[in-house]
Structure 1
Amino acid sequence: MVRDSNKLYVTVPSLFRCPISMDVMRSPVSLCTGVTYDRSSIQNWLDSGHNTCPATKQVLPSKDVIPNLTVHRLINLWLRSGDRSLASSSSPAASHSLSAVSIEDVRNLIRRMGNDNEDIAILLPKILEFASYSDENRRLVANFPGFDSEVVRIFSKNRSVIGILETAIRVLGLITRENEAEKRVRALIFDSTRDCLSSLVSILQNGAVSSKIETLRFLESLAGDVQSKRSIAETPDLLSVQLNLLRSESKINAELHDAVLSCLIALSATQSTKMQLIRVGLVRVLSDILQNPTCSKSRTEKCLKLLATVSTFAEGRSAISEEWQCVEAVVEKLVKVTNAAVEDAVAVLWNICCLSRNVKVQEEVAKGNGVTKILLVLQRDCEEHVKKMCRDLVKVLRAVWKVDLGSYETKTTHIKPC
């Protein structure tokens, strides 16, 4: 950052730069990963034989590019609003030049946001770029009187303009790093007169992948107590949209996949939410993820956490019991995860085998060499209540296990991995 008395200097908005050339994009297009590039740069990349996204390094299932009209419009508005040197310069290096923005300039931009005649599409990207530049800038914006309420108001006024909503959620993600700003935003979001949560659903449905991840993390941060968890979960279509993300886009974006699972864990505190998750097909989705050989350890453990959560009530246990492949996957993961995840896996098996006494499930666990794996868990440095559940499982499964345990005591430590 360069200073002269009352000026802070910020770069061209990063949203407007091509990740390959680092120049302001003339024709922004998006890949299936959600990352936006200048058309000429990404086309040269693809034509040279690459089959990956340059920014994420992910293999592309499709090389099709889609014009990003929202970013294109924002760039044009931004150029026309005062940074004319970029538009008029013929040198590519001009896009790297610095544009001086004083603190007073930013204050004026924020004040103008309250004017219904102003175009938020022009003002908000400038404020976002300023706030992103440094912690000092972020704190100045976060603590500006009334700014948080103006940003939250955007979600009620611009529900159909996805580009503006995406910029607004990034602004909220920045300013809520300040504790006081977070408290104010939380109160504003949950104000019954504001229809903000539905706009967040719109981002999850229609936004870029990066915006969806930002939105999910913001929702997770909002879910601080039971009442807020319930309010978020009861937003129409929110849970079903998240399940759809797990079914589709998450296959090409692991970060999005993890963000959805973390958000669902944060929201699944109430009985009504658990019931709704079962109804929208959570167990089948988690089963598919656990069976995927490329599933990471973190995603596996989050899936087990969610299964343990929904297995605490009868409908959840019934849904898991009906998914034989899900039961098999839980047994298979039993000795391959951390102690915290082992507790969740054991809890799932205990709930459906011991609490529900489902004989068919007991047989399925036994077929999957479940008893041996449960005995191996007993040798780990687990909490006593986890070992107690394991002993209960062994006793219940004895009736369906084909090998006689004889006088075997479940507290033994001589069993070795097969």
Structure 2
Amino acid sequence: MTFSWRRIRGGRGGVGKIESLKGINSYMELVVPTHFRCPISLDLMKDPVTLSTGITYDRENIEKWIDSGSVTCPVTNQVLINFDLVPNHSIRKMIQDWCVKNMSFGIERIPTPRIPITPYEVSEICSRMVAAVQNGDIKRFNELLGKIKKLARESDRNRSCIVNNGIGSALADSFECLARGSIDSNMNLLKEILSSLTWTFPIDEEGISKLKSTISLRCMAWFLKGEDLSSRQNAIFVLKKLIFADQGTVDGLKEIEGIEETLFHNVKIPICPKATKSCLVVINQMLVQEKSGHEIAFKFVQMGLISLILEILVGGDKNICEKALGVLDCICNSKEGREIAGENALTIPILVKKILRVSDTATKFCISCLWKLCLGEGNENGLVEAVQLGAFQKLLVVLQLGCCERTKEKVTELLKLMNLCRGKLDCFDSSTGFKYLNRSN
């Protein structure tokens, strides 16, 4: 098979638009040696590595092959006795020399690749980090953490190897250990660990147990109250990931005095949209897992969370609207929540407006909220207002488009109630029934 370059326009780029050379010969080709090409992609190898079968491939291509679940050599089809990728320095040096020799054809020299970190090296660094913290050798810990962060930045492959070989657990152990002491004294180091924890999930069970301990959660709550925006953001990111990793985290979070006020403050005075979404997720999980009494919901209602949620819904994007509606739906499970939400003049208009405008998830939450607010005696005004705003037509469209069984039941019940209110309206324009079908956000 012939693999060649023609001279590259502009003399740069290695591979790109090509044109023939002009001069004595009207056409000139640069032939790339076959053994410089990866057998998988047929491209010039940038980081040649050799398998146990003796065949050399470009590292990126053979790693994708192995990661896809293949256990054979692509060329020989032999079953691999191991998955070791040995750097082929001889071929790499020959390719680099060839590139230099042919620079006049616009070929750029491939850089010498960095050797990827191994699982063994990651485990060793993690062990040393934990030992350094336990021995009070903060300087050594900082050096090791800096090394890990540098290696993670070098490549996605390195980061994946680091995450999969215990860094999260080591950081969680170190975080709890430092939080046991003076937070003020260890504040800078705790900040660094918190920042690193945002990209080290998933974490094993031992690490999760360290992070969801009372000591660690109190430390995160302390950062959430602080003025450092970066630390507040990292703390809420870690809390969100921790809750999804272990639902038991919520129980520990509820034990922290003033956590509701802290979370409310971080929604009211936002750091960034991503942090606000994460904070709403944490609040939602606290409300979802509230077993009885609705004490947490009552606290949030008293703080004014319903008004804040409605403000968010007015101009929020799809993702944040879904999170905010999820919180509002949970709050409406309590009597106090329904009363305050029903008294707010924006509640019904916003809920009706968001049906079919955001997403299926948002529509489900809107219908659930309306169902809770309009059900029962004394809620006739809410039903009439919803009908006037076009809820009846929109709910008919929801049935036409299809929805889950539980939502369908709520829609059917709402339609029956709204139908009784239609006679009390001076006019009812049924010609607008499907005008919401193709509405964009």
Q: What band does the TM-score fall into relative to the shorter chain?
A: 0.5 to 0.7
1:267 aligns with 2:292: no
Amino acid across the alignment from 2:223: I
Relative contact order, CA 8 A, sep 6+: which one is greater? 1
- Unpaired stretches in structure 1, ≥5 consecutive residues: 3-97
Larger C-alpha radius of gyration, 1 or 2? 2
Write the distance in 1 (CA, Å) between the matches of 2:126 and 2:309: 46
| Deviation larger for 162-171 or 134-143 | 134-143
| 2:134 partner SS | coil
Write the distance in 1 (CA, Å) between the matches of 2:250 and 2:224: 18
- Unpaired stretches in structure 2, ≥5 consecutive residues: 1-46, 48-113, 437-441
1:129 aligns with 2:149: yes
CA contact (8 A) 1:308 1:344 kept: yes
| 2:401 partner SS | coil
Measured against aligned partners, the alpha-carbon deviations of 1:209-253 in whole angstroms (never above 9, x if no partner) come to 443333223212322565432221332222222222222224xx2
1:255 corresponding residue in structure 2: 274
Alignment of 1:22-171 (within 5 A): 108-116=128-136, 118=138, 122-123=142-143, 125-126=145-146, 129-130=149-150, 132-133=152-153, 134=158, 135-140=160-165, 142=167, 148-160=172-184, 161-171=186-196
Amino acid across the alignment from 2:238: F
Provide closer, same or farther for how the CA distance between residues 363 and 113 of structure 1 changes in structure 2, counting only shifts above 3 A: same
| 1:268 partner SS | helix
1:61 corresponding residue in structure 2: none
Provide closer, same or farther for how the CA distance between residues 373 and 201 of structure 1 changes in structure 2, counting only shifts above 3 A: same
| 2:215 partner SS | coil
Alignment of 1:299-338 (within 5 A): 299-338=320-359
Write the distance in 2 (CA, Å) between the matches of 1:131 and 1:164: 19
Write the distance in 2 (CA, Å) between the matches of 1:143 and 1:290: 35
1:216 aligns with 2:265: no
1:388 aligns with 2:430: no
Write the distance in 2 (CA, Å) between the matches of 1:309 and 1:214: 26
Deviation at 1:289, TM superposition (A): 0.6
Deviation at 1:176, TM superposition (A): 4.1
1:9 corresponding residue in structure 2: none
1:186 corresponding residue in structure 2: 208
Any runs of at least 4 consecutive aligned residues in structure 1 with deviations exceeding 6 A, and if so which? 101-106
Deviation at 1:288, TM superposition (A): 0.8
Write the distance in 2 (CA, Å) between the matches of 1:143 and 1:286: 34
CA contact (8 A) 2:194 2:231 kept: yes
Identity, in percent, stands at 15
Report the count of equivalent residues: 306
Provide closer, same or farther for how the CA distance between residues 124 and 352 of structure 1 changes in structure 2, counting only shifts above 3 A: farther
Write the distance in 2 (CA, Å) between the matches of 1:365 and 1:353: 9
After TM superposition, the score normalised by the length of structure 1 is 0.63
Measured against aligned partners, the alpha-carbon deviations of 1:329-355 in whole angstroms (never above 9, x if no partner) come to 111111212222211110100111014
CA contact (8 A) 1:121 1:164 kept: no
1:177 corresponding residue in structure 2: 202
Write the distance in 1 (CA, Å) between the matches of 2:352 and 2:298: 24
Measured against aligned partners, the alpha-carbon deviations of 1:37-57 in whole angstroms (never above 9, x if no partner) come to xxxxxxxxxxxxxxxxxxxxx
Provide closer, same or farther for how the CA distance between residues 375 and 143 of structure 1 changes in structure 2, counting only shifts above 3 A: closer
After TM superposition, the score normalised by the length of structure 2 is 0.60
Deviation at 1:325, TM superposition (A): 0.7
2:400 corresponding residue in structure 1: 379
Amino acid across the alignment from 1:268: L
CA contact (8 A) 1:132 1:138 kept: no
